[in-house]
Structure 1
C-alpha cells in the first residue's frame, strides 16, 4: 500500500502507537535550539537522508511545532501580499512554504508507522488537531484562494511550462475540494469536523495497535500447535513467559491457520483476530460509527450526497456509481468460483475422515491440502527457495536491473531507526546516483500492521533532491540463527512495495507536490501491482529462487507447479477483497442524517445486500472494526482502488507479453511514459498513450481464472 496524500494529511496516514521503546531515547540536548535539533537543519548525510544517530524522541514536538508555525506565517504573507498576483509569489511560494514541516513530518510519520513508542504516541495525539487546523488555515483562507483562483483563470496566458500550469490546477482543485467556496459560517463548521475527524482517526489507530498487541495468543501446550515446524515454534517462543506466543496480523485470516492441525486452536486464533476490536477493552465500533457519520456530514456540507462522492473527485472512478458498477461485474463470478472452491474443500474435509461443516478458520488449512492434491504443490516445498535477502537482491533488484538498468549497492554506513533495516544506494545504468532505499521487512510490536512505501525525502528539481524511499512489511522474524524464509504471497508483497518505490525513484518533477507517487489512489496501486508480475517471470524466478542451504536453483518441476496453480483459490481471494472494498464504500455512501445504531449490524447488511455473504466461510479481508486502511489510513472510499488498478496491471502485463516481455526497451518505455510522470498528466490519457488503447478487463479475468 502506498500512502499518497499531502503532508497536511500525514497525521491520518501514518498514525499508530505502542508502548515499546525505540532507540531514539531522550538526551540532554535542548530540542528547542535550532542548532542542536537535527530535524530543523538539512541532514549532512548522502541524499539528505535522516541522521537517526542524532535524532531523539524529544526533537520531534518542537520541530513539528516550528514547522507548522513557519508555514502558517508564510501562508499569511502570501495571502496578505498587496503586490500583483503572480505564479512565483503565490503558487511557487505556497509550494515552498512547508519545506521544513515536510522534512520533519516525513521522518516523524515514518517512525510512528514503523517503530513507535510512548513519547511518539503522545506527540501524535497532540499534533493530530494541529495538522487539521493547519490544513484549514491554508485551504479555507479566502484571500489565498482568490489569488489561486485568479491564476487558475489566466494560467494559459502566463507563458508557463506545462508542469507549472499543472501545479496551478492542482492547488486550485485542492482548495475547491477542501471547501474554499463555503461561506465563512460553514467554514467554521468544517474546521470543527476536520479537527474531530483527525482526533478520531488517531484514536482508531491507537486502539487498533493496542488491540493487535493485546490480542496475541499464548499457548503452553505444544500439542495445541501441532503442524507448526520446529523453526516456526522457535520463532514464536514467548519471551515474556512460558510457551509460545502467536501475534495477530492486520488481516482477518492469519498465516498460521494454514499449518495448524488442531481445529480448536484454529478457531481460537481466527476468533481472536475476528473479534480483536469488538466488545473488548479495545472496542472500535463507537469510533468507526462516529467517523462514518461525521464524514457523511462533511460530504453534505461540501455539497455532495455522501462522503464517497466528495472523496472520489479527481480519481479515475470519479463517482461511487462507477465503483458499484465494477463490483457488480465481478461479484457473481467471484462468489460462484468461491462456492466451487468451498465444495472442493468440504470434500477434502470428508476425505480426511472429518465430519464438520467448513468454517472460515478451516479454509486455509484444508485449501492447502486441496492444492497439494490438485497440483502436487506444498508451500513448505517452496519456502526454502525464498530467503528474504536473496529474494530482494536477486529477485526484486534483478528485475529492476533487467527492465530499467538500475543497480544497487548496500550501504552499512547509513544510520537507521532499527537494526533490522537494510539500506541500499541505487544507480542509473550510466552510474549516475538515483537515490537511497530502506528495506524494513520484519514484524515487531512497535510497527503497525500491513505493508507500505513512503519517502523520507521526495524527489524534486526545485530543491535539487533525489528520493530517499522506504518499504515496510510485516514478515515473521525468524529465531536467531534461522533463515528468514517467505511464502510466495510474501514474495509478491516485496515485489509490490518495490513497485511503489520505483514509481518514486523514477520521479522527474520540478515540484515536490506533483512528484512520483502523488497521484490518485486508483492509479497509485497500478505500478506496484504491475511489478508483482515479475515475481513469476521465468528468468527472474530462476535467479532468486535458490535453496537457502544448498544454493540449488528451484527445480523446473516446482516452477511448473507454481504456475499451474496460479488460479487456485482465486474465488476466495477476490471475494474477500470485494467484501472489504464493498464495506468501505457502504460506510461512505450513507446520508448526512444517518444514525448507525450497531456497527456489526451495518456490516452484516452491507454484505448481504451485495450478495457477498453467500459463501459463509469467506469473511471480508478486513472487518470494519479493524479496517485500518479506511478508518485510519487515508483510504476512506478508496479501498476499491486495489481492484481498479488490478485491471490496469494485468492489461499492462498483457502488453509486455505481446511486445517481447522483459526487455530494457520495454522497461525504458514504461519508465518514460508512466513511472516518471508523477501527477503531471491526465492519468487515463497517460495510460492510453503508453498502452495504445483503453485498458481491457479480460486479462484480469483470465489471470483470476474467472473466464
Structure 2
C-alpha cells in the first residue's frame, strides 16, 4: 500500500543500494554495488515497512472487500520481495562466509516476521469473511482463484488455531527455518571441502573434455596446473562413466554419497531427525495425522496414497528392468575377466560399455557436438518457434559473477517481455544442482511489470579457449531449467501471488519436463548439435544411434528416482519417533521395496536438499514423476499433430499452461490444453518400461 506511512530514510539507508531506486537498465539489481553488510539493514527496513502495511489492512475500519484486503495484501511487501530475491540468489549461486552467516540470522528473522502475519486472527477473519461470501462478490476467475489460495495459505499456516497452538506453531516455524538453513550450509560445506586430485596416472579412460573441465575446476579452486574431481554431479557422473580406475571410482562415489553423512561438523543426521519431528508436530497441531497428509491435501495428488500408487506402478517394471540390466553388466565384467561383483561405483562405467555393445553409442561420442552455446541457441530457437520469443544478449546488465550472462526477451510484436539470466558453470561458491528462480516476478496489478528470470546450473567449464561441452544429461538439464524459465517469462497474470511458477509442486514440473522433449528431437539436433572443432553437424548415423539409446539404462534412472520419492513419502508418513537413526531407516525402507544393492538413491537423506533444505518438496518429491505423466502425454499432442512446432497446439500450450501461472486449477488447465486428463501409460512408453513379472 503506497500510502502507508513509512520511516524516513537515515543517512546510512541513503548509501544502501538495496534501499535506493535502481538506476540500471530495466531497474535490475546493481550487483557490483551490493555488499553483504547492506542486507541486514535492508531486511530490517523491509520487515518494518511490510508489518506497517499489513497492520493497516488488518485495522482498516472499512468492511472487508476484495480491494482493501486481498488486493492490498498483494501490494504489500514489495521491498521485502525485492531484497529477498537478491539475497537468496547470492546465497545459492555465489555465496561467501559473510553471506552464509547473514543467512542464518535472516532465516530466523524471516520466520519471526511471517508468523504473526499468517496467524493474525483479525486479518484471517477478514479473509475468511470474503471467502465465505465469494460467490456474491462478482469476482473474475483470477480474483476468485487468488481469494481461494489466500484463504488456504492462511488456514494451513495456522491462522485458525487457538493462542497456545499458535505460539507453539511459531516456535516450530522458527526452529525449522534454522534447521533448513543449517542443512543446506552443511551440504555446501561438505561439497566445498572434498575433491580428488588426479595425477597423470589417474587419467586412464577420461575423455579430453573431462580432463579440461577437471583442470578448469582446479583453477577455480586456486590449484593452477592441477586436475580435480569434485562432488558436483557434473563432475562425478562423467568420471564414474569413463574412468578405468576402479579404486578412484569407488573413492569418488563414496564421497558423493556421503555428503552430509561424515560425522563431522557438516553432518545432517541429527538435523533430519529434528526436522521430521517438528513437521509431524506442526501437522498434528493443524489436525492432520502426518505431515504427508497435510502436505498433499494441497496438491494435485491430494493424498499420499495417490502419489504412492503412481510410484509403485512405475517401480515394478523399472526394478525388473534394472535387475535384468544388472545381470547383463555382471556378465560383461565376467567376459572381460573381472572376478568381482558389480558395485554401485561400477554401474555407470559398465552401463556405458553395454550401451556401446547394444546401441553402438556412448556419451563421449556425442559430447563434442553438444556445446553449451549450441544448446542455449537450441533452447532459444524452440521458444521462438513455439511462442514467438526472441533473445538478444545484453552486456549492460549488472551480474553477480563474470560468468553470468543476460538476454533481453521480446515477444512476436517486438515488445519487451522479460530478462533472462543464465549462470551455467560450477564453482565452489555455488550450491550443487540446477534451478530456476527470479529476481522479479511478472504482474499487472499496477501497470505491466516484466519478469527477471534466472537459470542456474553446474556445468563443467571447457579448457582455456575451448567451449564447454555438455553430456546428454546436461543438455536435458539446460532445457529443463529453461522450461521453468519460460513458465516465468511467459506468465501473464494480474496478481503477484499467482505469477509464473506459483503453482502446485506436482504441476510446476510440467512446463520444465515437457520442454525437455524438444532437446532430443532430430530436427533440433541436426540444426544445433555441431562439432566444437569442425563445425560439422551431428552425423545422421550418430544421431540415429543416440535416439535409439535414449531408453537405455532407464531401469537404473527410474529406480534411483522412485526409491528417493518413496523414502521421502515414508519419512513424512511414518511416526517421527520411528526415525531416530536416519541410516537405519533408509536401510529398512530400501529393503522393503527390494532396492537393488548396486543402485543407490538419487539423493541420500543427508544430501536431500529438495526435502530438507526447506519444505517445498517435502513429501512432494514424487512431483517430478506426477508431472512426467502429464509431460509425456502433453508432448503427444504435438506428435499427433504431425508437427512438433504446430502453431495451434503451441498457442494452447502457451495460453493454458505457460502463461496462466497459478490463476486456474492445474487439472482444469491441463484438460483445457489436452482436451482430456493425462494417460499414465505415456510415461511408461517414454521410459521404455513395460509391465513384466517381478524379477526374483
TM norm. shorter chain > 0.5? yes
Counterpart of 1:509 (choices 458, 478, 493) is 493
Return the offset for 1:54: 2.3
Deviations 1:463-504 (A, max 9, x none): 421111010000112232222000011000011011011111
Match status 1:181 vs 2:160: yes
**Match of residue 626 from structure 1:** 607
TM-aligned CA deviation for residue 41 of structure 1: 3.3
User: Is 1:690 aligned to residue 669 of structure 2?
Assistant: no
Distance apart, 1:379 and its partner CA: 1.6
How much does 1:432 deviate? 1.2
SS at 1:425's partner residue? strand
Contact 1:296 1:588 in 2 (8 A): yes
Alpha-carbon contact 1:47-1:465 (below 8 Å) kept: no
Q: Give 1:430 shift.
A: 1.5
The equivalent residue for 2:39 is 60
> Structure 2 matches for 1:32-47, cutoff 5 A?
33-47=12-26
Report the Cα distance in structure 2 between the residues aligned to 1:159 and 1:472, rounded to whole angstroms.
42
SS in 1 for 2:98: helix
Deviation by residue 1:533-567 (Cα, 9 ceiling, x = unmatched): 00111221111101111111111111111111121
Query: For residues 163 and 470 of structure 1, do their structure 2 counterparts lie closer, same or farther at Cα, with a shift above 3 Å needed?
Result: same
Mapped contact 2:329–2:347 kept (Cα < 8 A): yes
* CA-CA distance at 1:568 after TM superposition: 0.2
Pair 370,460 (structure 1): closer, same or farther in 2 beyond 3 Å: same
After TM superposition, give the deviation of residue 704 of structure 1 in Å.
0.8
Match of 1:532 in 2: 516
**Which residue of structure 2 aligns with residue 223 of structure 1?**
201
Could you tell me which residue of structure 2 aligns to residue 364 of structure 1?
348
Q: 2:182, 2:664 → 1: CA distance? A: 37
Structure 1 segment 388-467 matched on structure 2, within 5 A: 388-393=372-377, 395-463=378-446, 464-467=448-451
Task: Provide the rounded CA distance (Å) in 1 between the counterparts of 2:125 and 2:161.
Answer: 13
Q: Distance in 2 between matches of 1:83 and 1:404?
A: 44
SS in 2 for 1:254: helix
Matches of 2:12 and 2:144, distance apart in 1: 39
Q: How far 1:587 sits from its partner (Å)?
A: 0.9
Q: 2:423–2:455: 8 Å Cα contact kept in structure 1? A: yes
CA distance in 1, matches of 2:657, 2:412: 19
Q: How does 1:301-312 map to 2 (within 5 A)?
A: 301-312=285-296
1:327 aligned to 2:311? yes
Separation in structure 1 between the aligned mates of residue 665 and residue 479 of structure 2, nearest angstrom:
26
- Aligned mates of 2:679, 2:579 — CA distance in 1: 38
Match of 2:467 in 1: 483
Question: How much does 1:231 deviate?
Answer: 4.2
Q: Say which is worse superposed, 64-73 or 185-194, in terms of deviation.
A: 64-73
Separation in structure 1 between the aligned mates of residue 294 and residue 113 of structure 2, nearest angstrom: 21
Alignment-derived partner of residue 650 in structure 1: 632
Contact kept, 8 Å, 2:509 with 2:623, in 1: the verdict is yes
Task: Structure 1: give runs of 5+ residues left out of the alignment.
Answer: 1-29
Shift of 1:284: 0.9
**Which of 95, 100, 109 in structure 1 is aligned with 2:79?**
100
Say if 2:210 and 2:238, in contact at 8 Å, map to a contact too.
no
- 1:167 aligned onto 2:146: yes
Q: SS at 2:392's partner residue?
A: strand
**Residue 155, structure 1, aligned to residue 155, structure 2:** no
Shift of 1:693: 0.9
In 2: Cα distance, 1:98 partner to 1:674 partner:
27
Contact 1:31 1:37 in 2 (8 A): no
* Cα distance, 1:328 vs structure 2: 1.8
2:169 matched to 1:190? yes
Alignment CA distance shift 1:297-1:253 (3 Å): farther
1:235 aligns with 2:213: yes
Q: Summarize the alignment of residues 195-274 of structure 1 with structure 2, pairs less than 5 Å apart.
A: 195-219=174-198, 221-237=199-215, 238-239=218-219, 240-241=222-223, 243-249=226-232, 254-274=237-257
- Write the mapping of 1:578-657 to structure 2, written as runs, cut at 5 A: 578-591=562-575, 594-611=577-594, 613=595, 615-633=596-614, 634-657=616-639
Following superposition of structure 1 onto structure 2, how do residues 376-391 of structure 1 map, counting pairs within 5 Å?
Answer: 376-391=360-375
Q: CA deviation at 1:243?
A: 4.5
The superposition leaves residues 215-240 of structure 1 with CA deviations (integer Å, 9 ceiling, x where unpaired) of 22234x32233212344334323444
Q: Deviations over 1:161-190 (max 9, x none)?
A: 221222111110001111111111100011
Q: How many angstroms apart in 2 are the aligned matches of 1:471 and 1:217?
A: 28
Once residues 252 and 639 of structure 1 are traced to their aligned partners in structure 2, the CA distance between those partners, rounded to angstroms, is 24
Q: Residue in 2 aligned with 1:500?
A: 484
Q: Does the residue aligned with 2:33 lie in a helix, a strand or coil?
A: coil
Residue by residue, what CA displacement relative to the aligned partner does 1:15-67 show, whole Å, maximum 9, x if unpaired?
xxxxxxxxxxxxxxx99733322222342333322121322222211111111
Deviation (angstroms), 1:335: 0.3
Which whole-Å CA distance do the structure 2 matches of 1:368 and 1:514 have between them?
44
Residue 359 of structure 1 deviates from its aligned partner by 0.6
1:470 aligns with 2:454: yes
Aligned mates of 2:172, 2:677 — CA distance in 1 = 39
Q: Equivalents in 2 of 1:306, 1:228: separation in Å?
A: 48
Deviation at 1:255, TM superposition (A): 3.0
The equivalent of 1:347 in structure 2 is: 331
Retained in 1: the 8 A contact 2:551–2:687?
yes
**Counterpart in the other structure of 1:70:** 49
| Deviation digits for residues 295-340 of structure 1 (CA, Å, limit 9, x no counterpart) | 1111111111111111113210111111111122111111000001
Structure 2 residue aligned with 1:663: 646
Counterpart contact for 2:234–2:460, Cα < 8 Å: no
Aligned match of 2:28: 49
How many corresponding residue pairs? 673
Compared CA separation, residues 233 and 566, structure 1 to 2 (3 A): closer
User: Which structure has more RCO (C-alpha within 8 Å, separation ≥ 6)?
Assistant: 1
Aligned to 2:693: none
Instruction: Give the match for residue 3 of structure 2.
Output: none
Instruction: Judge conservation of contact 1:252–1:620 (CA < 8 Å) in 2.
Output: no
Work out the CA distance in 2 between the residues paired with 1:43 and 1:389: 31
Q: Distance in 1 between matches of 2:483 and 2:193?
A: 33
In structure 2, stretches of 5+ residues that fail to align are 1-8, 691-696
Matched, 1:563 2:539: no
Q: Residues 230 and 236 of structure 2 are in contact (CA less than 8 Å); yes or no, is this contact kept in structure 1?
A: no
Q: What is the deviation of 1:97?
A: 1.4
Cα deviation, residue 620, structure 1: 0.5
| SS of equivalent residue, structure 1 residue 424 | strand
CA distance in 2, matches of 1:65, 1:378: 54
- The answer to whether the 8 Å contact 1:252/1:274 transfers is no
More off after superposition, 155-164 vs 420-429 = 155-164
Q: Aligned partners of 1:44 and 1:435: how far apart in 2? A: 18
